[in-house]
Amino acid sequence: MSAFQITRRPIDAEPIRQAVLGPESGAVIVFHGTIRERTLDRDVTFLEYEAYEPMAIKQMQAIGDEMIERHGIAAIACTHRIGRLEIGDDAMVLAVASPHRAAALAATADFILRLKQDVPIWKKEHFVGGAVWIGTPEDPQGEGSTP
């Protein structure tokens, strides 16, 4: 089972957690990706996310299906927020359920990495003194960083 969505509203994590619960759920992980106030040496003021929504949802579903097959998890659900987000807001909430914790932990880490790499959701970081689209040549976080 999997469920994915894009929203412009604050994310309520409980329905996402409920979406993955089942009798085989021995481990349930709910991960909140939140907006932090500092990246490297920059004071972040807010973030903006944009997405090609139909493709983003389709790609999230494909990655979710892959996580079910690769890690043997029972269910996965994720909601990603777009628009302007303030410090402390949830940008993404991911829930993973599996019979055992090792599979749930591995699928959580794997899904987040793939989401950042393969899903058409773009992040613009606004900081004191400027703004930059993350993942561009102007991004001082550079290749291979974990923003």
Instruction: State the amino acid at position 25 in one-letter form.
Output: S
126: helix, coil or strand?
Answer: strand
* Structural domains of the chain, count: 1
- Give 134's pLDDT tier (boundaries 50, 70, 90): confident
CATH code where residue 123 lies: 3.90.1170.40
Quote the pTM value: 0.90
Which residue range forms the structural domain that includes residue 7? 2-131
User: Residue 89 falls within a domain, yes or no?
Assistant: yes
pLDDT, mean of residues 59-86: 97
**Bridge partners, residue 83, by sequence:** 49
User: Residue 109 falls within a domain, yes or no?
Assistant: yes
Q: Tens digits of per-residue pLDDT, 27-50?
A: 999 999 999 999 878 899 999 999
Q: Tell me: pLDDT of 99 over 60.
A: yes
User: Residue 122 falls within a domain, yes or no?
Assistant: yes
Determine the Cα–Cα distance for residues 81 and 33; give it in Å rounded to an integer.
10
What is the DSSP track for 8-53? SSPP-HHHHHHHH--TT-SEEEEEEEE--SEETTEEEEEEEEEE-H
User: Residue 74 falls within a domain, yes or no?
Assistant: yes
**What kind and span of H or E run contains 140?**
none
pLDDT, mean of residues 118-128: 94
Q: Tell me: pLDDT of 52 over 60.
A: yes
Determine the Cα–Cα distance for residues 85 and 9; give it in Å rounded to an integer.
10
User: Residue 136 falls within a domain, yes or no?
Assistant: no
User: Residue 144 falls within a domain, yes or no?
Assistant: no
Give helix 101-118 / helix 53-71 axis angle, nearest 10°. Answer: 150
- Residue 39 has what pLDDT? 83
User: Residue 28 falls within a domain, yes or no?
Assistant: yes
- Residue 1 has what pLDDT? 62
User: Residue 147 falls within a domain, yes or no?
Assistant: no
Quote the tokens at residue 61. 């579903």
